[in-house]
């Protein structure tokens, strides 16, 4: 019994588990304060989703990472079929069709697709290691894996999730020896197609948000309201904050969607600069740990998967914090394991479970 217990302790990545638990704990503490003026039962619902998320984390982490490698394309195919089904049988909320009902739970398949794409990319790059630097020609096939689900997600429409999948793709490519000339060409191409994106992809409300970001005074009570109120909340926290459950911006509903898109504003107002640095430090440690696990992975699949999951966390944090502090336009991007939302919690816990699965293989024969 003792050797078995010792083996169990070694295979559990306690560092990863503890940092996840810490982020979830402060997220629940923050939600309890933020949800006082929100829909009744929100905190209880999130607690149930956290329990479900940790259960999924345990299941995913106990499966050998080689299983995900073996069935990577099957998982990818199923994910795209579900995305296609959303367009026909999904639930429409505020003009977007993104959710499917699974019993009493509403699941957002586009969120889960981030994990599916990470697995598919890792499988492809494992089978096609490319010892030399990649050119644009070598990026065509892996980009195809990303383009299909991105197209289905943009049809919902969900530009934020599509953008995050694209950023994750480029992050993985950079870590797999993308030539600088190819990177420069991609950046230049992106700049060239920006006018087309503005004309054909962006919705009216998205254009108004970008214009309000460029000129905050242009629409202070309309498109610029969210950003201005968020900046006020973050700034009013000063060094040590106003105190737990003492935040006024969310208490009096000046700050919209403060439990989903703007939970960091609530946290910064109540816990100040010090509390904000603690939270950001936890995220930084988690991302660095994902890179560490990539460096220790036994094969290329595990390494690429860890980089993909790590970049997934990184871009969510960067975009959400940039949004709430006014240095990026307002987009619907959640803060990992901190924002309210069952699909978001489940997706991040599945990603963390994959990190644990890859890390555990270090101790397996």
Residue predicted with more confidence, 158 or 165: 165
The range of the structural domain enclosing residue 278 comes to 2-363
pLDDT of residue 139: 79
pLDDT tens-digit profile of 237-253?
888 888 888 888 777 67
Check: CB of residue 354 under 8 Å from CB of residue 361.
Answer: no
Per-residue pLDDT, 54: 93
pLDDT for position 26 = 95
Residue 256 φ/ψ region, left for φ over 0, alpha for ψ in the -120 to 50 degree band, beta for the rest: beta
In this prediction, residue 122 carries a pLDDT of 93
Q: What single-letter DSSP state applies at residue 340?
A: S
Instruction: Identify the band that residue 195 occupies on the pLDDT scale cut at 50, 70 and 90.
Output: confident
> Residue 192's pLDDT is what?
75
Q: Which of 316, 321, 319, 325 is nearest to 344 (CA)?
A: 316
Give the pLDDT of residue 325: 87
Give me the count of residues in the chain.
365
Q: How many domains does the chain have?
A: 1
The model's pLDDT over 9-34, given as tens digits with 9 standing for 90+, comes to: 447 888 999 999 999 999 999 999 88
Task: Judge contact between 360 and 68, C-beta under 8 A.
Answer: no
The pLDDT of residue 216 is above 70: no
Reply yes or no on whether the pLDDT at 1 is more than 50: no
pLDDT digits over 30-50, tens only?
999 888 776 778 889 899 999
Per-residue CA distances from 322 to 80, 295, 314, 330 (Å): 30, 29, 12, 9
Tell me the C-alpha distance between 78 and 359, whole Å. 26
pLDDT value of residue 364: 52
Mean pLDDT of 187-208: 69
CB atoms within 10 A of CB 13: 21
Residue 269 contacts residue 247 (beta carbons within 8 Å): yes
Residue 92 burial (CB < 10 Å; 0-12/13-18/19+)?
exposed
Alpha-carbon span 115 to 158, nearest angstrom: 16
Q: In whole angstroms, what is the distance from residue 272 CA to residue 348 CA?
A: 26
pLDDT tens-digit series, residues 312-329: 999 999 999 998 888 888
Lowest mean pLDDT among 130-144, 217-231, 264-278: 217-231
> In the beta sheet, which residues pair with residue 99?
91
Give the whole-angstrom CA distance, residue 152 versus residue 137: 24
User: What would the mean pLDDT of 343-360 be, rounded to a whole number?
Assistant: 92
Read off the pLDDT of residues 51-96 as tens digits, 9 standing for 90 and up. 999 999 999 998 888 889 999 999 999 999 999 988 888 787 766 7
- Residues 267 and 33: their CA atoms lie apart, in Å, by 9
pLDDT at site 5 = 42
pLDDT single digits (tens) 280-292? 999 999 999 999 9
pLDDT of residue 9: 43
pLDDT confidence band for 199 (50 / 70 / 90): low
| pLDDT for 75 | 94
């Amino acid at each position: 019994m003792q050797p078995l217990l010792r083996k169990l302790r070694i295979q559990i990545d306690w560092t990863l588990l503890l940092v996840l638990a810490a982020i979830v704990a402060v997220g629940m503490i923050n939600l309890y304060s933020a949800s006082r003026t929100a829909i009744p039962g929100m905190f209880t619902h999130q607690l149930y989703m956290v329990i479900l998320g940790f259960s999924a984390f345990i299941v995913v982490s106990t499966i050998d990472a080689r299983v995900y490698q073996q069935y990577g394309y099957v998982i990818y195919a199923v994910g795209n079929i579900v995305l296609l089904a959303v367009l026909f049988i999904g639930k429409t909320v505020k003009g977007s069709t993104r959710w499917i009902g699974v019993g009493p739970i509403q699941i957002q398949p586009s969120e889960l697709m981030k994990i599916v794409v990470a697995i598919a990319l890792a499988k492809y790059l494992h089978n096609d290691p490319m010892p030399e630097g990649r050119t644009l020609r070598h990026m065509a096939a892996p980009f195809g894996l990303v383009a299909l689900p991105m197209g289905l997600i943009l049809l919902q429409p969900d530009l934020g999730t599509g953008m995050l999948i694209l950023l994750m793709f480029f992050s993985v490519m950079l870590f797999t020896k993308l030539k600088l000339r190819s990177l420069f060409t991609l950046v230049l191409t992106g700049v060239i197609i920006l006018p087309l994106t503005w004309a054909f992809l962006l919705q009216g409300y998205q254009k108004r948000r970008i214009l309000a970001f460029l000129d905050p005074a242009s629409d202070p009570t309309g498109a610029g309201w969210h950003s201005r109120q968020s900046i006020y909340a973050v700034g009013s926290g000063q060094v040590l904050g106003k105190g737990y459950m003492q935040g006024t911006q969310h208490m009096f509903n000046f700050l919209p969607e403060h439990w989903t898109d703007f939970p960091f504003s609530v946290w910064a107002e109540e816990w100040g600069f010090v509390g904000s640095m603690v939270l950001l430090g936890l995220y930084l440690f988690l991302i660095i740990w994902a890179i560490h696990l990539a460096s220790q992975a036994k094969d290329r699949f595990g390494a690429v998967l860890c980089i993909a999951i790590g970049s997934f966390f990184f871009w969510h944090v960067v975009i959400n914090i940039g949004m709430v502090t006014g240095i990026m336009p307002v987009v619907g991007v959640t803060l990992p394991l901190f924002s309210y939302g069952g699909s978001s919690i489940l997706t991040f816990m599945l990603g963390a479970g994959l990190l644990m699965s890859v890390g555990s293989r270090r101790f397996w024969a």
